[in-house]
């Protein structure tokens, strides 16, 4: 399919949304239906499926939106380069998903992961999200839902934004390391036309000797309305800009020898800047016969300039091994479909048919640099990558104690890579296409004694970088086969504690990875990950709410080698206590277990556990216009020495005659105190 035809198809998705919203039969009377609030739980397909409420989100320390992810059982996110400006490193179900390769991220259904990214496949930078705008987080693990496609191997995360806020908020936060954060969020209209506006500025030097000078600014605008009593349309726009310096991943030997401090740097010129703007349109129309038409469209512009140096003077003893990565892209896409409720032979059923498409128009470049001054080009490519995905989904309840859900998803990809550097050693180029058919099956039994049992099977995939996909003999799409059994129980009623236990297995066809820092493809072979998780969330009694989880994972290549960076154990626990007189407290702990750093497990990372303390207090007096709330956060309450991102590879310092295999790490933040004041109006 030509580029022009693809652009026409993407435009057609957007146009269909507009025409559906605007067109109606002038002879057909419009029925005004009063708004009715329906409170209930959304049915889940797997025991591991979770919805994280906003009351937990607002109690997380401010600074990194990715910290929200630890509320999901078994998921941990850590800083990757000591600068906080780039995407985090994500761990879930035995995957070091790096910056997002095997975890799909969305906001209101719009994909966040970036295909064929300059720094790594599936790169998912969450820093354009303002946490206070999030109404809740929908987390699904495994690959059991037909409506989710690329990168949904370990799981998928959808950040659902609010339509309105009951009270406006103006908030100022300050803390150690010159940390400052300012937030404003309000809804000018809240009825038939519902609006939300939010803005954020965040600035910090971090604990590093060479200051981060990290500055992030975010703006969000959202408007939601109804043309009739049966539809809803929502338009959301965001823009983010960030710049930062990074300490990088420092070698352990340099710290032990006293050459640098734990918060020092070998190459203080690391860092970068990024910009992301998005617009998304969501629409649905409910028919009078139990059907729903839905159509969504989005567009994004993205830019990144990233400067790193992992190996220091290993390859170039004179100028150093600085890497420059540049990414410029436009992303366009959307989906449309129809859902119908009904009965077949007296059996309640829901059927859904849908179609999704996405287009990435990319310019990506990799080169060398010294103190952010370009010194050469390694690869320079234009990439045009498109996917099309029709899917069908069916849900049925043949008997009162059994629900069935499943479907098929067909993904079709086209890759077109043009080499722009005729003098480069690496010259990826060419075009190819590939498809994959993905079955999904789920069975839910119960409830019996307020308990449900789940059996799940699903096939998922992640796409590989287009620059490796067009190479002869490569596998453009890596299939995963997911199995899961679990139980979910609420023995103390719907408002009480919810308990879940899940056992799972994921077989991945290929760990083929495009190494963005080198411009080469690394073939890792097939793998198997398996484990179990237990979790509890909910009200224990009166004012006490808890959230806790524990996971165990065994992750190996099929030849028996360990998968580097896959943690064996993770755990999280939090207790939220709502005191009288407007005081809320949270005590939480995050644990990441030992991880092998190389395949033979001869080098391992240490485990760590970090505790945080949060307090928010609604002041006992009201202003003429609004009320005040004071808050503070203490991160790493006991000042633990811990490591965030950690790797084992060869590097060379300026005074060393040859490369040395060593552990390289990003230090975890020391005890950090921040606090502030919020005015609700």
Write out the two tokens for 655.
């005074």
Q: What is the pLDDT of residues 300-336, one digit of tens each?
A: 999 999 999 999 999 999 999 999 999 999 999 999 9
Question: Quick one: pLDDT band at residue 23, thresholds 50, 70, 90?
Answer: very low
pLDDT score of 621:
84
- Is residue 151 predicted with pLDDT exceeding 90? yes
Q: How far apart are CA 427 and CA 414, in angstroms?
A: 19
Beta strand ranges found along 579-670 (DSSP E): 583-592, 595-596, 604-605, 608-623, 626-635, 643-651, 660-667
Give the SS3 label for residue 580: helix
Q: What is the pLDDT of residues 338-374, one digit of tens each?
A: 999 999 999 999 999 999 999 999 999 999 999 999 9
Q: Are 204 and 211 in contact (CB under 8 A)?
A: no
Q: How far apart are CA 561 and CA 525, in angstroms?
A: 11
Write out the two tokens for 148.
């989710």
Q: What is the pLDDT of residues 186-224, one digit of tens each?
A: 999 999 999 999 999 999 999 999 999 999 999 999 999
- Is residue 17 predicted with pLDDT exceeding 90? no
Average pLDDT over residues 560-571: 93
Average pLDDT over residues 645-657: 94
- Is residue 37 predicted with pLDDT exceeding 90? no
pLDDT score of 510:
78
Fold of the CATH domain 3-23+48-680: Maltoporin; Chain A (2.40.170)
- CB count within 10 Å of CB 559 equals 9
Q: How far apart are CA 406 and CA 454, in angstroms?
A: 13
Q: How far apart are CA 80 and CA 504, in angstroms?
A: 28
User: What percent helix, strand, coil does the chain show, rounded to 5?
Assistant: 5, 55, 35
Q: Are 637 and 574 in contact (CB under 8 A)?
A: no
Residue 365: CB partners within 8 Å, gap ≥ 6? 118, 324, 325, 326, 327, 377, 379, 380, 381
> From residue 285, how far is each of 24, 142, 357, 373, 395 by CA, in Å?
12, 30, 21, 53, 20
pLDDT score of 42:
63
pLDDT score of 465:
94
Write out the two tokens for 239.
């823009």
Q: What is the pLDDT of residues 401-442, one digit of tens each?
A: 999 999 999 999 999 999 999 999 889 999 999 999 999 999
- Is residue 7 predicted with pLDDT exceeding 80? no
pLDDT score of 16:
40
Residue 459: CB partners within 8 Å, gap ≥ 6? 143, 438, 439, 440, 479, 480, 481, 482
* Chain mean pLDDT for the chain: 91
Give the SS3 label for residue 324: strand
Beta strand ranges found along 176-322 (DSSP E): 179-186, 194-204, 214-225, 231-245, 250-251, 271-286, 291-308
- Token pair 């005004």 is found at 32
- Is residue 515 predicted with pLDDT exceeding 70? no
DSSP assignment of 474-538 = --SEEEEEEEEEEEEE-TT-TTS-EEEEEEEEEEES---EEETTTTEEE----EEEEEEEEEEEE
What phi, psi does 321 have (nearest 5°)? -105, 35
pLDDT score of 625:
86
Domain boundaries, the chain: 3-23+48-680
């Amino acid at each position: 399919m030509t580029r022009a035809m693809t652009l026409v198809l993407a435009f057609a998705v957007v146009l269909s949304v507009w025409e559906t919203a605007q067109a109606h039969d002038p002879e057909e009377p419009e029925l005004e239906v009063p708004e009715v609030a329906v409170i209930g739980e959304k049915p889940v397909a797997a025991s591991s499926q979770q919805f994280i409420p906003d009351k937990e989100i607002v109690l997380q320390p401010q600074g990194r939106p990715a910290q929200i992810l630890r509320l999901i059982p078994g998921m941990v996110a850590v800083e990757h380069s000591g600068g906080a400006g780039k995407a985090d490193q994500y761990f879930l179900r035995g995957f070091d998903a790096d910056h997002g390769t095997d975890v799909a991220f969305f906001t209101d259904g719009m994909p966040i992961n970036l295909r064929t990214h300059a720094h790594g496949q599936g790169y998912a930078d969450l820093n354009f999200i303002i946490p206070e705008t999030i109404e809740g987080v929908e987390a699904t693990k495994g690959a059991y839902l037909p409506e989710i496609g690329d990168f949904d191997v370990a799981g998928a995360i959808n950040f659902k934004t609010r339509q309105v806020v009951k009270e406006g908020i103006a908030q100022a936060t300050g803390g150690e390391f010159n940390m400052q954060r300012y937030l404003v969020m309000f809804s000018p209209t809240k009825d038939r036309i519902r609006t939300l506006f939010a803005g954020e500025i965040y600035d910090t030097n971090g604990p590093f000797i060479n200051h981060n000078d990290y500055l992030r600014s975010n703006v969000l605008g959202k408007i939601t309305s109804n043309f009739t009593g049966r539809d809803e349309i929502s338009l959301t726009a965001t823009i983010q800009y960030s710049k930062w310096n990074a300490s990088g991943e420092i070698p352990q030997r340099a710290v032990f020898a006293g050459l640098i401090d734990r918060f020092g740097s070998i190459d203080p010129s690391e860092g970068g800047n990024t910009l992301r703007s998005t617009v998304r349109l969501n629409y649905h129309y409910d028919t009078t016969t139990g059907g729903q038409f839905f159509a969504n469209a989005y567009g994004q512009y993205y830019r990144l300039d990233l400067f790193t140096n992992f190996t220091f003077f290993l390859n170039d003893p004179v100028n150093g091994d600085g890497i420059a990565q540049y990414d410029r892209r436009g992303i366009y896409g959307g989906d449309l479909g129809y859902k119908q409720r009904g009965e077949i032979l007296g059996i309640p059923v829901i059927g859904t048919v849908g179609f999704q498409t996405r287009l990435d128009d990319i310019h990506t470049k990799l080169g060398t640099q010294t103190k952010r001054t370009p010194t050469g080009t390694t690869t320079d490519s234009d990439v045009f990558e498109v996917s099309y995905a029709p899917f069908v989904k069916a849900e049925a309840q043949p008997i009162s104690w059994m629900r069935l859900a499943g479907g098929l998803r067909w993904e079709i990809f086209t890759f077109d890579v043009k080499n722009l550097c005729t003098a480069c050693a690496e010259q990826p180029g060419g075009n190819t296409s590939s498809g994959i058919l993905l079955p999904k099956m789920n069975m839910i039994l119960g409830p019996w004694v307020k308990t449900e049992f789940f059996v799940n099977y699903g096939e998922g995939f992640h796409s590989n970088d287009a620059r490796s996909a067009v190479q002869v003999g490569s596998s453009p799409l890596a299939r995963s086969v997911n199995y899961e059994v679990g139980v979910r129980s609420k023995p103390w009623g719907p408002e009480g504690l919810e308990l879940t236990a899940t056992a799972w297995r994921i077989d991945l066809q290929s760990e083929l990875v495009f190494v963005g820092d080198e411009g080469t493809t690394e073939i890792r072979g097939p793998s198997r990950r398996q484990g179990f998780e237990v979790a509890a969330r909910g009200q224990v009694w009166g004012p006490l709410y808890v959230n806790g989880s524990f996971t165990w994972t065994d992750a190996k290549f099929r030849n028996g080698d360990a998968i580097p960076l896959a943690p064996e154990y993770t755990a999280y626990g939090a207790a939220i206590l709502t005191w009288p007189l407007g005081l809320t407290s949270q005590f939480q702990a995050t644990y990441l277990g030992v991880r092998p750093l190389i395949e033979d497990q001869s080098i391992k990372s240490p485990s760590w556990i970090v505790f945080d303390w949060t307090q928010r207090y609604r002041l006992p007096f009201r202003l003429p216009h609004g009320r005040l709330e004071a808050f503070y956060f203490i991160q790493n309450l006991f000042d633990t020495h811990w490591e965030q991102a950690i790797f084992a590879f060869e590097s060379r310092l300026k005074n060393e005659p040859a490369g040395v295999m060593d552990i390289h790490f990003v230090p975890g933040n020391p005890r950090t105190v921040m606090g502030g004041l919020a005015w609700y109006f």
